[in-house]
Amino acid sequence: MDISDASRTTTQTVTDYDRAKEVQAFDDTKAGVKGLVDAGIVNIPRIFIRPPEELVEELTSHQTNFQVPVIDLDGVRGNNLEEIVDQVRAAAETWGFFQVVNHGIPLNVLEEMIEGISKFNELDVELKKEFYTRDQTRNVRFNSNFDLHYSRTANWRDTLTISTLASTNLDPNEYPEVCRDAAREYIKNVTKLAETLFELLSLALGLKAEHLLEIGCPKEYILLCQYYPPCPQPDLTLGATGHSDPSFLTILLQDQIGGLQVFHDNQWVGVQPIVGGLVVNIGDFLQIISNDKFKSVKHRVVASHVGPRVSVPCFFMGHNAEIPKSYGPIKELTSAENPPIYRDFRASEYFSKRFSTVLDDNSPLHQLKL
């Protein structure tokens, strides 16, 4: 069956709709969402169409153009440190999100990373197929929707993953050649920025600056190079379903097209791109160890006629899942008046729960509460 024939309206009956078959047909192409666009589809396949109740709710939900906090890191090593820490604390406690400018990563490094991911996705499909796999043990892999075969609705995006989570022996020569130099330079810079941010977050929690570094919060990372092709029916699907992040911290590079939204004060708030800016958000792990002082909040990406959009979130995950490292509320942040909200857990336990569910299910946070 031609996967483009899977374009159906939401009125199609269950009896003539075999989702598993259509998902497999799409996956077998190894061409991703971009392959659908290149084929010239006018109607998106049904596997991407959100349930009718979600679409109705979307029509009545309120969306705003309020902006998440923007924090200028200029002077972070000087006289502005206390002011910056205060801003980070306020953003982490109330929004769970903020953007940073003057963060030290040169603009050309950001631009070349975006360009490199665009070039990879624009390669001949036969070249991209060399990286197409669902093997989570592969450090570098390309596919569309990590949860494709068990999600309720597929998202309109393709992803190149670069990860040290499965194995710390990540050889840059494994990267696609077309984006290898750009990725190496970006990763070097963004991991350095992460260390600075973890120092600021430590201070914002009233701890010594090295605390989060010493417990290994930035130890391993997953870099998701997301490619969102233009969508012929963007109102019917999403680029990424609403979710919180399975990380301590996420640093996001995005192009100027936009589409990221944060759920704040019971409404979706658009995160407007800033030239040279990076988006930072608190992950589930940091909410746990901060004993709910910092918030890991739901966010999503809307689909658009405009594109392709490129974004590159880097998730800082702590120790490798194979290392028996336990995390729980930081002792200095708990007391008789403020007892621990969560039990200790291992990263491997969290990941087994998180990656066995669809993206839009609740995170395992509630399962870890005392």
Q: Is the model more confident about 127 or about 347?
A: 127
Q: Which amino acid is at 195?
A: E
Which structural domain range is residue 227 located in?
Answer: 65-368
Note the residue count of the chain: 370
Return the structure tokens found at 124: 């001949």
Query: Is residue 7 domain-resident?
Result: no
Q: Is the model more confident about 144 or about 352?
A: 144
Query: Is residue 237 domain-resident?
Result: yes
Residue 319's pLDDT is what? Answer: 74
Query: Is residue 30 domain-resident?
Result: no
Q: pLDDT digits over 312-363, tens only? A: 999 999 876 556 678 999 999 999 999 999 999 887 777 776 665 555 556 6
**Domain count across the chain:** 1
Residue 346's pLDDT is what? Answer: 81
Confidence band for 8, pLDDT divided at 50, 70 and 90 = very low
Residue 64's pLDDT is what? Answer: 66
Coil vs helix vs strand at 353: helix
Query: Is residue 9 domain-resident?
Result: no
Where residue 17 falls (left for φ over 0; alpha for ψ -120 to 50; beta otherwise) is: beta
Query: Is residue 356 domain-resident?
Result: yes
Q: Is the model more confident about 75 or about 300?
A: 300
Q: pLDDT digits over 187-244, tens only? A: 999 999 999 999 999 999 999 999 999 999 999 999 999 999 999 999 999 999 999 9
Of the chain, the percentage scoring pLDDT greater than 70 comes to 88
Residue 333's pLDDT is what? Answer: 97
Residue 364's pLDDT is what? Answer: 78
Query: Is residue 250 domain-resident?
Result: yes
Return the structure tokens found at 198: 């973890």
Query: Is residue 227 domain-resident?
Result: yes
H-state helical runs in 95-179 = 107-121, 125-128
Query: Is residue 322 domain-resident?
Result: yes
Asked if residue 158 lies in contact with residue 63, where contact means CB atoms within 8 angstroms, the answer is no
Q: What is the domain-level CATH number for residue 269?
A: 2.60.120.330
